[in-house]
Amino acid sequence: MFSQAQAPLNTDSLFQAAQTAARAQAYTEARTLLETILVADPAYLDAELLLTRTYLWDKNYALGLQKAILLKDKHPENKEIRLLIFDALLWAGKNDSALVVFENLPTPIKQDPQLRFTEARIYHALERYEESFKLTELLLAQHPEIISLRNLHEQNIYKTQKQHLVVDYQYSAFDNSIPDWHWLSLEYGRQLKRGPVLFRATQISRFNLASTQLEIEHYSRLNDKNYVYAGVGIAQGVLFPTFRLGFEWFTTLKPSWELSAGLRHQQFSDAPVTSFTTALSKYRKNYWFSIRPFVIPTAGNLYLTYNLQARRYFKNSRQWLGITTGLGNSPDMDFRLNNPAEQSSNQIYLLDAFLLRLEGQIPIKQSLLIRPFAEYKNEEFLPGFFRTRYSTGLAIQYLFR
């Protein structure tokens, strides 16, 4: 008997199939094809590179880095393998190690444009934004066509522009005879070493009355996983709480999960209202989700409000579209303002409301952002009586150094 000769394996066709599977995020299938190629042709470098990348894309950073280092030992001068090692270190969050590896490269190799871009990525990951900005500005003048370089440069601009001004106007109309409401605020913010501090002045006009509120807020980073929020406000007139205070602690549970807990205190004339809140947030790819309940203990009862938020990011963190829905009770002054007999009362009514809000942020220029919104709210304005409020508005933010 004679054995039939087996047809030679077409490794290039298999490699194309592996690329297609990898693009479809079918990493296990891609790895099976790539391992078949490497059995037939152990010197097929592109297959080894793609195999290593599938582990990184699958977030198996330890194994991906191990394979990349083994490839580097076999091909010490290969630039693609160097870039692969930097990707593995940065995606694994080993930013300090990435900088050490880069600094140990020979000077001529560091001048390669792709490696200089990698250097800018490392500085950005280490929050050394000024150094990253200088590099991306230089590289972008030479290579304006590279989208990833342009995106990083825009992020650096945002991070290095440590001051901002925001003008925010909001308008509300009703389905009954209530006059329109107007809201105008001006905010100045400055990025400090630990986080931003914000100063805000707001004026609102409703019921033929006007009130002004002044606020200071600060977000302070304690370490890589924890930061706190603190805010205080005072107001003139009857439309705002005369005094407000807020505090909240945030912590990272896992790379994509965040938990917070805090309180909000509002002083309405002589009637205080304190609410306790917590939030659980999740990042998934280009999406962010958050659920936030408020608990308001008053007069022996517990009142609840729930807010759900979702946000879709596009080119970068500065461009997004979001939706918010809310349901529950909140402290309200309108009942007293609508009823002269109640205006001397110290009681604050917690009235029911349902909220649906659509908003977004759009970069117009590198230093100019706009945030439009539209909102529907069905709210109780007297116990047992409801109205519909339609609101829209626009915030314009200018960033500068």
**What is the reported pLDDT for 189?**
95
- Report, as an integer, the average pLDDT of 239-265: 91
Distance of alpha carbon 154 from alpha carbon 147, whole angstroms = 11
339-355 burial code (b ≥16 CB/10 A, e <16) = eeeeeeeeebbbbbbeb
Instruction: Report in angstroms the alpha-carbon separations of 118 from 32, 52, 101, 127, 202.
Output: 30, 19, 11, 14, 44
Angle among Cα 205, 210, 211 to the nearest 5 degrees reads 110
Please state the domain extents for the chain.
Answer: 11-159, 161-400
**What is the reported pLDDT for 44?**
92
Distance of alpha carbon 54 from alpha carbon 66, whole angstroms = 13
- Name the least confident of 15-19, 240-244, 297-301: 297-301
Per DSSP (E only), the strands in 61-208 are 163-174, 181-191, 196-206
Does residue 330 carry a pLDDT above 90?
Answer: no
Are 11-159 and 161-400 the same fold in CATH?
A: no
Distance of alpha carbon 65 from alpha carbon 283, whole angstroms = 24
Angle among Cα 79, 110, 144 to the nearest 5 degrees reads 85
Domain 161-400 is of which CATH architecture? Beta Barrel (2.40)
Does residue 149 carry a pLDDT above 90?
Answer: no
> Mind listing the pLDDT tens digit for each residue in 205-239?
987 889 999 999 999 988 878 899 999 999 988 88
> Mind listing the pLDDT tens digit for each residue in 151-183?
788 788 878 888 999 999 999 999 888 889 999
**What is the reported pLDDT for 232?**
98
Q: How confident is the model at residue 333 (pLDDT cuts 50, 70, 90)?
A: very low
Per DSSP (E only), the strands in 269-319 are 271-284, 287-298, 301-313
Q: How confident is the model at residue 340 (pLDDT cuts 50, 70, 90)?
A: very low
- Report, as an integer, the average pLDDT of 308-318: 87
For the CA atoms of 391, 169, 290, 367, the dihedral, rounded to the nearest 10 degrees, stands at 140
Question: What is the CATH superfamily name and number for domain 11-159?
Answer: Tetratricopeptide repeat domain (1.25.40.10)
Closest to 309 in 3D by CA, of 322, 318, 319, 320:
322
H-run or E-run covering 377: strand 368-382
> Mind listing the pLDDT tens digit for each residue in 4-17?
545 567 888 999 99
For the CA atoms of 85, 89, 90, 94, the dihedral, rounded to the nearest 10 degrees, stands at -160
Which pair of tokens denotes residue 111? 């001048």
Using an 8 Å Cβ cutoff, are 299 and 278 in contact?
no
When comparing pLDDT for 350 and 33, which is higher?
Answer: 33
**What is the reported pLDDT for 374?**
98
380-389 burial code (b ≥16 CB/10 A, e <16) = bbeeeeebeb
Using an 8 Å Cβ cutoff, are 149 and 137 in contact?
no
DSSP result, 209-278: EEEEEEEEEEEEE-SSSEEEEEEEEEEESSSS-SEEEEEEEEEEEETTEEEEEEEEEEEETTEEEEEEEE
Does residue 296 carry a pLDDT above 90?
Answer: no
